Each structure stands twice: as C-alpha cells, then as structure tokens.
Copies of this chain bind each other. A is one copy, B any other.
Amino acid sequence: MNIFILGSGNVAWHLSVALKNAGHHIDGVYSRNINHAEELAQKLGTKAFDQLENISSDSDLYIISVSDKAIEPIARNLLVNKPVVHTSGSVAMHVLAKFAQYGVFYPLQTFSRERIVDLKKVPFCIESNTPELFNVLEKLALDISDIVVPMSSEKRMQCHLAAVFANNFVNHFYTHAKKILNENQLSFDLIKPLIRETALKAIEIGPEHAQTGPARRGDQNVLQYHMELLSDESLKKMYSFVSDSIMKKYQSK
C-alpha cells in the first residue's frame, strides 16, 4: 500500500518503520515542525510536509499518529478523499467522521524513540466505519503484528484505561521504589530481578494469585514500620492508600 503518515512522535516513528519494513511505501511524513518531519522522512526515504493543504489524495491510506488533542484540528484541515485513521487509545473514531472512510489503528503498547519494540507481539485494536476499510486495516495490521483485535471505540477506551494502570501507574511506582533506594545509597539494580519476576508472575499465574506482602497478609507491624520509614508526606499517603486498597480486597475474604 501507499501510506501517508501524519505525525513524527514515538508511535508514528515505530509504526512507519515497521510498515516500510513489511513492504509498504510511505509517500510522505507530515509534522507541524518541519525538522521533525524531515528527520522521520529521511529515515523512511520519503518527503517531509509541514502544510496540510500540500498533502494530495494520491495515497491509499492516511494514518494520523499525533497527540490526542492534535487529531481533531488535523482532521479538520486535511483535505483528502481517501481513508483516514488515527492511532490513539482514547479518542473516539467519529472524530474522523468528515471522511467517507475512517477508522482506528491502535497499537496497545508503550513506545519510546530509543527502544526497539517487537511489533509482532503488540496487539493492534482496529475499528472502521465500513467493512471494506476494516478488511484493509486488518490485513495491514497482520503484516506487522501477530495480534489483531476488532474493537469498538468504547472498548478501546476501557483498554486504554487498563493500560494506564498497568503501565503509567506501575512505572510511577518503580520511580518511587528507585527514589527510596537511592535516598539510602542503594542501587536500583537490586530490585531489577524483582521487577522482572513481578511482571512474569502476573502474566503467567494472574495478578490475583500473585499478590504477596504485608498488606496482603494484614501484617500491621510491618505496615506501621514502613509508614515510619517514609519521610515524604505524599509517599506516606500513597503507601497507606494503596495498602488499604489491598487489605480491603484480600482481608475481608
């Protein structure tokens, strides 16, 4: 397929490289910032754009892969008569309803520029307003991933909400753990095996069977001792809040 990429962030970057490697042609890259567009365009051997009105209707598919807030203004000013999709987890499909054929092509993963992610193992949640485009998106997703899931906008947003807990919030707690270690001249390396095992264990036996620790056991001595160890007031509050939530779940049974 001939594909046009709108966006130059982490998702645009990983997605366009994977599509090119799967044999598709990237016709161009748009970004408000021409330097960003050129950087990705160069990587893909294609043209860079920073004016939406210069984008022709020659491509088969237009993929808008920008921050959530920027999708609607781009859609408003993009003047093409071909299928248009976005890649967001939390924006409804109908934001693209001005186009005859539109849809969503959402990779459920966390992306950073510097990390190579194996897209084959990333679920692509797809949705479209027509069966024709749906089939196109399904085929395209299968070119780069083993896991393709039809999903309504409503369910996709629930998925994204679950991902916020499993990624954003989890990572924030890794950050707290690292801070506690570093403040005590201890290396973050010490808990890396624990972080790895915690993820693998939840994946393999399910998180509800993997829960351990003082709150799970209702061990008030340790809970109180930990509260005394924490000097930061907001961390104290966090500790007691999450511990209470764990206790409520397990101690009442």
Contacts of A203 in B (CB 8 A): 192, 195-196
Chain A, range 205-224, C-beta contacts under 8 Å to B: 205-217, 219, 221-222
In the docked arrangement, what's the CA distance between A110 and B229, Å?
21
A136 contacts the other chain (CB 8 A): no
In the docked arrangement, what's the CA distance between A246 and B242, Å?
15
- Contact A207-B109, Cβ < 8 Å, known A162-B191, A219-B69, A234-B245: no
Contacts of A196 in B (CB 8 A): 199-200, 203
A191 adjacent to B166 (CB under 8 Å): yes
Residue of B nearest to A183 (CB): B158
B173 adjacent to A166 (CB under 8 Å): yes
Q: Which residues of A contact B (CB under 8 A)?
A: 67-69, 90, 108-112, 114-115, 117, 121-123, 147, 149, 155, 157-159, 161-178, 180-181, 183-186, 188, 190-217, 219, 221-222, 225-226, 229-230, 234, 237-239, 241-242, 245-246, 248-249
Residue of B nearest to A213 (CB): B168
A193: contacting residue among B122, B157, B213, CB under 8 A:
B122
